[in-house]
Amino acid sequence: MAYILVVDDEEKMQHLLSIMLMRQGYRVDRAGDGQKALTLVRENPYDLVISDIRMPNMDGLELLSAIKELNIPCPVVFITAFASVDSAVDAMRKGVADYITKPFDEERILLTVERTLGVSRIIAENIELKQKLLDVCGGREIVYVSRQMADVMKAALQVAATDTAVLITGESGTGKEVVAGFIHDSSPRAKARFVPVNCAAISPSLVESELFGYEKGAFTGADRRTKGKFEYAHGGTLFLDEIGDLPQEAQAKLLRALQDKKVQRVGGNEEIPLDVRILCATNQDLSKLVQQGKFRQDLYYRINVFPVETPPLRDRIDDIVPLAEFFLKRLKGGKEVRMTDGAIRTLQTYSWPGNVRELANAMERVMILSPGDGSVTAETLSFLRGGAGTLCAADPFTLPPGGICLESLENDMVRQALALTGNNQSAAAALLGLTRAKFRVLAKQAADSGS
């Protein structure tokens, strides 16, 4: 169970909080001031610190800053009777995980503790996973910060050690081939070939000869024996991209090759045994194609043993700016890139229908358009406005003659922004042009008003 430090200069409050937490099975230490708390934090691996803000000698904000300076990965939650929007924003800017105002009830305390510990676990898992990714990729950087992509990469890492067939689904441009390449690089087959094949780019009449090879004289122009992609990938991984575009006759032969682990070249009689791992990808709904009779059901079950879905960029808004900076830095030969707040808002409020591929192309254009100092501004990104992915603003607001309750309007806007973004606070903050810290304060206000 989690290890928690309670910090408060009031003995009664220390005792009350400790009893609440210990009843839930948490291990709890207590401190009466910030100095003693800091000593305990240095000596013990706490999972969470719950602290009052106003205390003698060292207050809660000073304690928070000291913990951050020591680079101790322990979240801090503030409990105070003196909270205001300004103090809350100040605390959040300094890195506080959450805050609760007095008086409070036990349910709210426990929910906040559970939520904060959950977020802390996710961050720790992300750090551990990223290190594993760097280890297996020989230091090659895979750019993401979102939980959605962390889940994808974690699943990819788990399945990589096996020879299980993987079906990677997702919209065009979401990085399906990157995930497939990562699975190969992380597998025991990493030293063998990774052979990508775009099934949609091959003429239907040439699919079989492309995949299985052909013998000399098999058809007009076949002047020599030629190996197919299956043979070329022997010992390694064959990646069949856009598998949904494979003609039905080729689907039947692919199924047989997967079942028998053998291929027969076009125009030949010899069955060639092969050791190949198959990864497939598609931007189509194969289950619907099966229902429509356009894709073989038995082949679908054969390739869909372990499904992995790559999310669209609009659903992983936290990744947009890190990806943009990565592409720009690579284009600029490793030089650092500065983005204004306006540029960040523009990137995050565009829906990126072409996903990561569109973002990469946009950054190439930005490199040409950016001023001499290399900074990226909203004006640099003006070509995104009015595009297919622009999230159009509503008509300008007109104040009614009788006035309006600004707090109610703020609460309504916050709720709408959260609804539009699937409760993604970073995305909702970007929609409203707010910092994440300011948005969290308004979101808490909206939640309190609705309860």
Q: Which of 56, 77, 185, 92 is nearest to 443 (CA)?
A: 92
CA dist 183 and 156 (Å) reads: 6
Q: Do 88 and 441 touch, CB atoms closer than 8 A?
A: yes
pLDDT higher than threshold 70 for residue 39 = yes
Q: Do 78 and 100 touch, CB atoms closer than 8 A?
A: yes
Indicate if 314-384 has the same CATH topology as 3-123: no
CA dist 275 and 293 (Å) reads: 30
Enter the CATH code of domain 147-311: 3.40.50.300
Please, what sign has the CA dihedral across residues 296, 298, 303, 305?
positive
Q: Do 3 and 46 touch, CB atoms closer than 8 A?
A: yes
CA dist 416 and 168 (Å) reads: 33
pLDDT tens digit sequence for 209-251? 999 988 887 787 778 888 999 999 999 999 999 999 999 889 9
Architecture label for domain 314-384 = Orthogonal Bundle (1.10)
Mean pLDDT of 54-64: 85
* 428 vs 373 pLDDT, higher one: 428
In this structure, the number of other CB atoms found within 10 A of the CB of residue 150 comes to 19
Residue count of the chain: 451
Domain residues of the chain, as ranges? 3-123, 147-311, 314-384, 406-450
Give 71's contacts (C-beta < 8 A, 6+ positions apart): none
| Alpha-helical segments (H) within 285-405 | 286-291, 297-303, 320-331, 341-349, 355-369
Class of domain 3-123: alpha beta
CA dist 262 and 274 (Å) reads: 6
Least confident range of 77-86, 153-162, 343-352: 77-86
pLDDT tens digit sequence for 98-148? 878 777 778 888 888 988 888 777 666 665 655 555 544 444 457 888 889
